[in-house]
Amino acid sequence: MDKGQRAKLLKGLDHVRQRPGMYFSSEVPAVVNFIEGFRLACALLGSVANYDAIYKQVIEERGWKWSSQPIWTQMKERGLNDDAIIAELFDIQMMLWQRIPNPQPLSIDNHS
* Tens digit of each residue's pLDDT, the chain (112 residues): 667 777 888 898 888 888 888 888 778 999 999 999 888 887 777 656 778 889 999 999 999 999 988 999 999 999 999 999 999 999 999 999 888 776 555 444 544 4
Q: How far is CA 7 from CA 15, 60, 104, in A?
A: 12, 25, 17
- Find the domain containing 28 and state its range: 3-99
Does residue 108 lie in a domain region? no
Domain count across the chain: 1
Does residue 106 lie in a domain region? no
Does residue 24 lie in a domain region? yes
Does residue 111 lie in a domain region? no
